[in-house]
Amino acid sequence: MAAVAQPPAKPSGCSFHLAITDEDGKALPKAFVLVHGEHGINQQFTPDKNGQVKASLHAGMYDVFVSAMGFVPQAQILDLRSCKPVNVNLMLTIDSEHSDNDTN
């Protein structure tokens, strides 16, 4: 019986790494992270104590929404179509328009 070469296994997912900080570079571990995929898939992630999310998703296009109390929410497109690892650094800015310190 001849041995047949097997093609390399496809990765089970495409990795992405998200780092969330404030304007001073401090991690925001209590941020809310929602990833919405092109096929209607929604997935929520909880950042670790360093404000980071490391995950694996199917190849495709995604919208990433990040918010935290007192900060302006951010959104970014995540392109994992090539399945190459993607690193995203998001800096959230203080939401002075809606803060309790508003004197208007």
- What are 18-58's pLDDT values in tens digits? 999 999 999 999 999 999 998 888 999 999 999 999 999 99
Q: pTM here?
A: 0.79
Q: How far is 102 from 104, CA to CA, in rounded Å?
A: 6
Task: Mark residue 103 as left, alpha or beta (left: phi above 0; alpha: psi -120 to 50; beta: remaining).
Answer: alpha
Span 55-102, pLDDT tens digits: 999 999 999 999 999 999 999 999 999 999 999 999 999 998 877 654
Residue 10: both structure tokens together: 């496809």
Domains for the chain: give ranges and CATH numbers.
14-94 (2.60.40.1120)
Answer whether 86's CB lies under 8 Å from 93's CB: no
Q: Which residues pair with 94 in a beta bridge?
A: 71
